Chains A and B, each alone.
Chain A
């Protein structure tokens, strides 16, 4: 995680293990979430949110630099699903992410479901988020299903649950993104309440149909970025 309160020694050892993993499997893309999971000595096993300020942007940039140096290649940073805001934030999430790209040279993993979940939870438009997002740095897309709960006021609170089909609204946003970026490596995350194979296969086919539809269109950003 990029905002990591472990000791420098613990992070160093994690960096070495991570480098060994990357060296062994040589993955086409390496990504990590904009989130934190460890504080002091406790590992919380969840993607926890952070305020967006000049101080936190420096800290996250340092950690991305550290990771990229360790593995000798750029990573893709993934936008989070969040359920709370920090009143102390002075930057928008898209400005925060753009700043990280500029400082570290990392690419981006755009989780379209996370965009929709966070936009719904915090009352902004997913389309304007995408309009502000540095799409020309996106090297991979994630899609997923979400669950519906209620917040304290009885308004809809969406949970990034990975336990159901991709929502219609998320398919539409994916279509918009691919229309602008051209086809990008796309992963559907369905890792809880996993359905029968034909259901999963149909979900992948639906994504492929959108990618195919935009395969030859005149998109704004080139395929060169897809390689990260």
Chain B
């Protein structure tokens, strides 16, 4: 049915039940809608609460499934309370629930009770990027041979095409170490929360691949992913860190499958 019909008064009025029914689903302080009842006019407070509960619990479950390391770090009670606030504030807008939770890391960052875990939001960003890489389109990564066809004098003009699954994560905390320890089933020892870590996340084949990037590499990767030519990206990386190893970085990124193609820019 075309959207403009929904706005016409007559039809909109006929389908008021959806507006009335949905208004209180994520708002526990709101009374159940007048439009519903039990049989023979019986009350519908507990009956409507079944839908409220289904909606809220299923969306909390969806976040728990997408952010397992975050859940493991906080424990289920903390996680579910935090997720409940987020679900009520920012419910999904897409029926594709693997897209849900894109705003969750920012929510965690300002969530009052998570302030003692300042690295938690970055762990959630890693998990969101992991899920994006997992669901990204399949594509054949380009191997280091892709550079062979480019003449050495044009190398600085070379532009890389990022693999659809490639994501770069930069953190002020050891987020790769925390993520890796809490995505496995093994025991988690004490992790020193000082020291920054960056990551490349991509999926060259069926498995998501997480690479702990050396210092300076994330800037380099960000610039290449933004479409800047190799020379400009390398200059930015050197400006940030004089000991940046250009050839090792190119080799590592290509081997990880971060790109699908390289071609001469300009």
Q: Tell me the chain A residues, 109-151 only, with Cβ under 8 Å from chain B.
A: 121-124, 149-151
Q: Looking at the assembled complex, report how far the CB atom of B95 sits from the nearest CB atom of chain A, in whole angstroms.
A: 5
Interface pair A85/B46, CB less than 8 Å apart? no
From the candidates B22, B46, B95, name the one contacting A152 in the complex (CB within 8 A): B46
Contact flags B134-161 to A (C-beta < 8 A → 1, else 0): 0000000000000000000000000000
Q: Looking at the assembled complex, report how far the CB atom of A33 sits from the nearest CB atom of chain B, in whole angstroms.
A: 13
Interface pair B3/A42, CB less than 8 Å apart? no
Interface pair B18/A42, CB less than 8 Å apart? no
From the candidates B39, B51, B95, name the one contacting A85 in the complex (CB within 8 A): B39
Contacts of A41 in B (CB 8 A): 93
Contacts of A153 in B (CB 8 A): 38, 42-43
Majority DSSP secondary structure for residues of A touching B: mixed
Contact flags A149-190 to B (C-beta < 8 A → 1, else 0): 111110001010000000000000000000000000000000
Interface pair B46/A45, CB less than 8 Å apart? no
Interface pair A123/B1, CB less than 8 Å apart? no
Interface pair B18/A152, CB less than 8 Å apart? no
Q: Looking at the assembled complex, report how far the CB atom of A18 sits from the nearest CB atom of chain B, in whole angstroms.
A: 11
Contacts of A149 in B (CB 8 A): 46, 50
From the candidates A50, A62, A157, name the one contacting B50 in the complex (CB within 8 A): A157
From the candidates A7, A9, A36, A86, name the one contacting B36 in the complex (CB within 8 A): A86
Known: A123-B39, A159-B50. A86 touches B91 (CB 8 A): no
Which residue on A lies nearest to B17, using beta carbons?
A: A51
Q: Looking at the assembled complex, report how far the CB atom of A213 sits from the nearest CB atom of chain B, in whole angstroms.
A: 35
Interface pair A36/B18, CB less than 8 Å apart? yes
CA separation between A59 and B14, bound complex, in Å?
Answer: 10
Q: Looking at the assembled complex, report how far the CB atom of B48 sits from the nearest CB atom of chain A, in whole angstroms.
A: 6
CA separation between A49 and B22, bound complex, in Å?
Answer: 10
From the candidates B17, B40, B51, name the one contacting A83 in the complex (CB within 8 A): B51
Known: A7-B3, A59-B1, A153-B43. A39 touches B19 (CB 8 A): yes
Interface pair A44/B55, CB less than 8 Å apart? yes
CA separation between A40 and B16, bound complex, in Å?
Answer: 12
**B94 interface residue (CB < 8 Å to A):** yes
Interface pair A39/B51, CB less than 8 Å apart? no
Which residue on A lies nearest to B38, using beta carbons?
A: A151
From the candidates B1, B22, B54, name the one contacting A39 in the complex (CB within 8 A): B22
Contacts of B215 in A (CB 8 A): none
Known: A8-B3, A151-B42. A45 touches B59 (CB 8 A): yes
Contacts of A38 in B (CB 8 A): 95
Q: Looking at the assembled complex, report how far the CB atom of B11 sits from the nearest CB atom of chain A, in whole angstroms.
A: 8
Contact flags B1-37 to A (C-beta < 8 A → 1, else 0): 1110010000000110111011001100000000111
**B177 interface residue (CB < 8 Å to A):** no
From the candidates B47, B59, B92, B97, name the one contacting A151 in the complex (CB within 8 A): B47
CA separation between A190 and B40, bound complex, in Å?
Answer: 32
Interface pair A45/B92, CB less than 8 Å apart? yes
From the candidates B3, B17, B47, B97, name the one contacting A88 in the complex (CB within 8 A): B17
Chain A interface residues toward B at CB < 8 A: 3, 5, 7-9, 14, 36-46, 48-51, 53, 55-56, 59, 62-63, 83-88, 121-124, 149-153, 157, 159
Chain B interface residues toward A at CB < 8 A: 1-3, 6, 14-15, 17-19, 21-22, 25-26, 35-48, 50-51, 54-55, 58-59, 62, 91-95, 97
